[in-house]
Structure formats: C-alpha cells, structure tokens
Amino acid sequence: MAVRSAHRSSPQIAALPKDRFFNRELSRLDFDSRVLSMAEDQARPLAERIRFLAIVSDSLDDFFQVRVAGLHEQVNATASLTSSDGMSPKDQLDGIGERVRELIERQSDTFSTDIVPALAGAGFKLVDADDLSEADRDLLQQVFLERIFPVLTPLAVDPAHPFPYVSNLSLNLAVMVRDPTRHKERFARVKVPPLLSRFVALPDGHRFVPLEQVIALHLPDLFPGMQIASHHFFRVTRDADLDVDDDEAEDLMAAVQAELVRKRRRGRAVRLEVGPDMSPDVLFLLLRELELGSEDVYLVTGMLDFTGLLSIQGLSNKALVSRAWVPATQPRLQAEGGEPVDFFGVIRDGDLLVHHPYHSFETSVEAFVEQAARDKDVLAIKIAMYRTSGPESPIARALKSAAQAGKQVVALVELKARGDEQANIEWAKALEAAGIHVVYGLVGLKTHAKLMLVVRQEGAGVRRYAHIGTGNYNAATAGMFEDIALFTADPDVTADIAELFNYLTGYSRQTKYRRLLVAPTTLRSGMLKLIQHEALKPEGRIVIKVNNLVDPEVIDALYRASQAGVRIDLIVRGICCLKPGVPGLSEGIRVRSLIGRYLEHSRIFGFGSGPGRHVLIGSSDLMPRNLDRRVEAVVPVADPDLKKEVERFLELELADDTLAWELAENGTWSKVVASRGANTQDLMQRATLGIVGDEGVAAA
C-alpha cells in the first residue's frame, strides 16, 4: 500500500527499462511452436494432430509472405529501423531463420516417425514411389497418363526459353535432362498442379503415393527421348502483402485486383524450401534465378508443404475424421411448439449473448439476418464484413432477398482482408448485382469491425437492433473459432453503430460515441483510461483476453498498473511482447495462452470487480495496427447476468490446466501441469448441453 500511495502522490514517474519488450516476430514463432506441440501430442486424436501439423505450415507460409517479406524490405531501406525490443531487421531475420529451422525439424520428425505410422494403422499407408512393385507401377502408369499427364506443362530453360516464373507457394520439380546425342544437361521445371489431390490412391484403396513422386516416376513421359539425370523437389514463397495506395486509387476494387495480379506475378521471393537430396548445382541455379541468398534456403527432410495433409481428412475413414461437435441453439432462441423464434421480441426483452462454436451460428446470426430480410416492418439492414462465407451463403442470400423486397441494404466489404482479397471482390460484385449498396470503407484504414444493424418500423417510430461481435460473418470459421457476440436493442449502442456506419459510408468526422470504443478515434484512449483507472483503486483487477498483445503504449500502461499493485491476468493466444513477472515491473502480471481444438479468437476486456466492474467485447486486438490503422468496435456488456456469464468463461480459462501454457519472465512458454484436468473447451461444450456436476462445469 505504501508503494501505491507513493505512486499516486508523486508527480515523478520512474523510467521503464529499455529491455521491457519481447520481439514481435519471435513471439509469433513461439505461438507456432505451441501449435506444433499439439501435433506432437500422441494423446490427441490423429485427425486433430494432422490438422495442427498443417496449420503450422500454413501459418509459416503467411509469416514469410508478410512479416519476413517486410523485414527484407527494411533491410534494403536506406533508413535504419529497429523494433521496440531493439533488434535490427537483420538481427530479426537471423533469429527467425534459427527458430524456423527448429520448427521444420520438429515437423519433419513428427511426420515421419509418428504421423506416418499412425496413418498406416488407420488404413492410410503412405508409400514411396521407389518402393512400388512392377504391378503397382503398371497400374500407376495408367492413372498418370489418364489423369495427371494432360495437366502438366514442363518448362525448359535454354537460350530460347528464359527461366520460368515460379508462382508463390507452388510445389515444383527441378529436373535435369540430358540430350543423349549432345550429352549436354539442361534444366527444366515441372509444376505440381495444385488442383489435383496431393495423394494418388493405389487400387487397393489403402496405399497412397504423394503426387509429386508419381510425377517424378514418370518424367520420361514428359521428356521423351531425353535422359533424366536427376530431379529435385522445391517450393518458393514470395512477398504477398498488398501495397495499395488508397489516396491514389480512383477505383479501390480495380486497384486491389491489379495489385493481386502484380503480387502473383512479380512478388519477390523470400524463401526457398528444398529436399535433402538437392544438388549444389541446381541449388545454385535456383538461388541465382530467384535472387535469394543461402540464408533463405530451408532444408526439409519430410514432405514439402504439410498443408497437403488436410486432403486426407476428406477421405471416408472414420479414424481420420475429427470428432464432430454439433453447436446448440442458444436457450433463449429455442423455438417452442415448432414455431420460429421472434428474434426482435427476444432482443427487446434483454440483451442476448451467443458464444461460438458452442452456440449455433445458423440459429443465431444467420437466423437473425433471415428474419430481418423477411420481416415486412424492417426498413434497413447494414452490415460490416471482414471475412465472409461467400456470395452463396445464407447471409448473402438473405441480404439479396431483402434488397429485392425493397429494403435499404448496405454492405461494407473489406477488399483488403489479407488472404481473402479475391473472395471479397467476388462477394462485393455479387451483392452489387443484387441491388445492394456496397462500400469499401475508409481511405487508409481497414475495416475490421464486425457489426450488423437492423432498422425496424415499430408503432409510430423506429427501433434499431444490432449484432456486434469478435468473429467474422463466416459460418465455416464460426464452427472452428471461439468467438463471442452481443445482440442488443440498447438505444445508445445502436445509435453509436448507426453513426459508425454513417462514418464508414459517407462523409463524417465522428469522434465521440456514447457507449462504443471505436478505433482509430476513441479505442486507444479508452483502453488506456480503463487501465489507468484500475491503478488508482486499492484492489485493482484487470483480465484481458486477446489474440495478440503488441502495442507498446498499452503494454507500458499495464506495467504501470502492475507497479501500482493491480492484479493482471492476460490470456494471449498468439503474440505477446509484454514480459510478465519482472521484479519491480510486472510481478502482478500473469500471461497464459490456450491452444486447443478450437482457435481461441474472442477479444474480452475486464476491468475491476464487484458492481462497478466493466466488461467489454469486440473486434480489436491490442496492436498498433488495430488501434491506429483499422476501424474496430468494442462494446460494453451492460446486463449484469451477461457480465457474469463472460466472467465465468474467463475464470474457466484462467483455471484451465489442460490447454494452457504460461509465459515466463525469460520468454519461454511452458505447458501448465495438469492437476484437475480442466479443459475449457470441453467444459464449455458440456455446459452448453446442460451437463453439470463438477466444479468446473458448474462454473461454465
């Protein structure tokens, strides 16, 4: 208490240590390491382990396409840049190379020594083409000629044929062919067609050969009359981060489409993955043509690109299919007597909270839009979408139906949602063709908020209903991502959302809101104020759950609050740049991460305890890009019962000893030792089904 009083009364604020941040990029790789541990866990179902192995590969692809590509640009820039932890771009690239090589070695070892035997036990035996019998080869020859050969295009390199462009994330064969008359070797590249299945089944239906090996086995058919000197597998990763100047673009959709084409064709190579048998001469040629250095080469002893393993789960083998969870309908939305629930009546009775994937997306979000489209008294529907389910999803059909019925329908589609740019362009075109007003957000900002507003005629006036959440309007991810959302008719909240839509679709300098915290105007200052307010309390308490904690100003505010005696729990799934447990700086801060079957995706902010506590949910992580360069929306949960519901969920996550990892002062993550066997995701499923009986489930 003496320390707290001194802190409040003294105008002097002690300087925080310079080495108070973890590196952002290395922290991201720590997350990939935790995910890989799930694939290494032999106690988990095989289907889940395969999925986690593929997720790590996909995550590393994204990391190199964006973060590593950005660091390369910084290395080549004239100005010297350092990260908040003091590392130069070159230092970060060196650290990344070391960490990624460790991850690749673990991946390959897990695959070859563990996953492959487990697959064989489940009836899916991966075999090498070199080990096939003559009879198998004869049968495979027919499959190759009928289904694979017609879509292959060998590309030679000689004075008449320049080195071909190798597309991003493509799997390729580098083939050295020899002319038997001239005895001269030439290089050729064969791309493995991405539209074909990664594994080719043998007639018995239990043995499978990787597609690239099938192609390699039949290279003489691609180069008739030539001798095959050698072949080697390789894969290239390129810079794929879009660089669209909103200020200069007269047509944003056209600009995004043009940039997508440019990146696909000319994005700089940033990584070369090769097999262990790659010859020095071929490697030298690839590095020269791709303009890469030896430090950009990653040796993979297992198969290249583990995302191909996801195709295995499409096979009809029960052992390779994940346990299915069927989301339940939120109790207040359960219809009686077979009649559809009146969404508007339910929301008028009080705010409604839904928690995916435990609660059904279909019977909540999709049903809400569908009822709004049918209701003759609904005047307008407005929705802001970042990642979507596509132009034929139930939400899209409902919006089109509403527009055709004469309702005012506005859809804000974020064309720059990374990885979904082309999908969102198609979505936008389909909505525009149906007569929906489609807008693309604000110049210089991505719109990341997840918002929906329905305006309904009721009596002599109108009432507004809103949905605001932490997850996307995407049914597929709603079944795999843990997210939370609020339905409300609160006049202040819905008025704020209406004004936010006006800000997004028209000309507005809106900077104040009644209840919402909105980036880039009020969210940063609002969060800092809530943190600082807790530091003034005798028993301050903060619980925050986010995907990533990176922002230096927010981290410093949390350090100050800890120094003032506030007890702080942070649940950070991915990147965490804050150092917990540092004497004199963050003794009162604990950081944990939950890695489980579902991707923990919700953002929840809890401040204080007792009747005056604040609980907020929303779309924003605590990163500079979210707070300063995106449109984000965070809403307070006002209903006392719903506050308790959110707090009970946070308590479960803080008590979890099955999925949880904890971050130490030195930056190492360690798995929490199981004592009670509390698994948040299992407990939430059981609680959703009304199964109670032990302390953990009752808390849910």
Q: Residues 354-381: pLDDT tens digits?
A: 999 999 999 999 999 999 999 999 999 9
Strands (E), 302-362: 352-356
Strands (E), 386-493: 408-413, 437-439, 446-447, 450-458, 461-469, 481-488
Distance CA 231, CA 237 (A): 20
504's tokens: 């997004």
User: HSE-up of 222 (CA within 13 Å, CB side)?
Assistant: 27
CB-neighbour burial class of residue 211 (10 A; exposed 0-12, middle 13-18, buried 19+): buried
Distance CA 478, CA 457 (A): 31
Distance CA 484, CA 357 (A): 9
Q: Are 422 and 395 in contact (CB under 8 A)?
A: no
Query: Among candidates 605, 485, 627, which has minimal Cα distance to 544?
Result: 605
Indicate the residue type of 419: G
Query: Among candidates 491, 387, 404, which has minimal Cα distance to 447?
Result: 387
Who's near 325: CB < 8 A, 6+ residues apart?
357, 685
Who's near 681: CB < 8 A, 6+ residues apart?
482, 596, 597, 598, 659
Distance CA 408, CA 431 (A): 13
Q: Residues 102-127: pLDDT tens digits?
A: 999 999 999 999 999 999 998 899 99
Phi and psi torsions of 661, nearest 5°: -125, 150
Distance CA 414, CA 244 (A): 13
Catalytic amino acids?
448
> In DSSP terms, which residues pair with 201 in a beta bridge?
208
Query: Residue 672 to residues 543, 659, 661, 669, 679: CA-CA distances in angstroms?
Result: 19, 8, 5, 9, 12
Q: Are 176 and 183 in contact (CB under 8 A)?
A: no
CB atoms within 10 A of CB 35: 19
Q: What secondary structure does DSSP assign to 344-376, as a single string?
A: HHHHHHS-EEEEETTB-SIIIIIHHHHHHHH-T
User: What's the gap between Cα 153 and its chain centre?
Assistant: 34
Q: What is the DSSP letter of 578?
A: B
pLDDT value of residue 251: 47
Distance CA 447, CA 620 (A): 11
Distance CA 92, CA 26 (A): 8
Query: Among candidates 666, 620, 573, 630, which has minimal Cα distance to 59?
Result: 573
Distance CA 211, CA 200 (A): 6
pLDDT value of residue 592: 98
> In DSSP terms, which residues pair with 616 in a beta bridge?
605, 636
| Strand, coil or helix: 586 | coil
Place of tokens 């132009």: 391
Strands (E), 470-574: 481-488, 517-519, 541-546, 567-572
Q: State the chain's maximal CA–CA distance in angstroms.
A: 92
Entry pTM: 0.90
Residue ranges in the chain whose pLDDT is less than 50? 1-12, 244-253, 255-257, 259-260, 262-263, 316, 417, 695-700
Distance CA 630, CA 645 (A): 29
Distance CA 54, CA 64 (A): 16
Distance CA 20, CA 679 (A): 32
Distance CA 561, CA 553 (A): 12
Q: Helical H runs in 111-229?
A: 116-121, 134-143, 211-217, 219-222
Distance CA 400, CA 83 (A): 46
Distance CA 444, CA 201 (A): 49
Distance CA 228, CA 219 (A): 7
pLDDT value of residue 615: 98
For the chain, list the domains and their CATH numbers. Answer: 2-19+516-699 (3.30.870.10), 26-105 (1.20.58.310), 128-320 (3.30.1840.10), 331-505 (3.30.870.10)
Rounded to 10°, the helix 89-110/69-76 angle is 150
| Strand, coil or helix: 46 | helix
Vertex 141: Cα angle to 139 and 143 (nearest 5): 75
Query: Among candidates 224, 379, 235, which has minimal Cα distance to 307?
Result: 235
Distance CA 494, CA 468 (A): 10
User: HSE-up of 460 (CA within 13 Å, CB side)?
Assistant: 0
302's tokens: 């297992």
Vertex 676: Cα angle to 587 and 599 (nearest 5): 75
User: What's the gap between Cα 205 and its chain centre?
Assistant: 34
Q: Are 564 and 556 in contact (CB under 8 A)?
A: no
Where does residue 565 fall: left (phi above 0), alpha (psi -120 to 50 degrees), or beta otherwise? left
**Distance between first and last Cα of the chain:** 34
Distance CA 582, CA 19 (A): 11
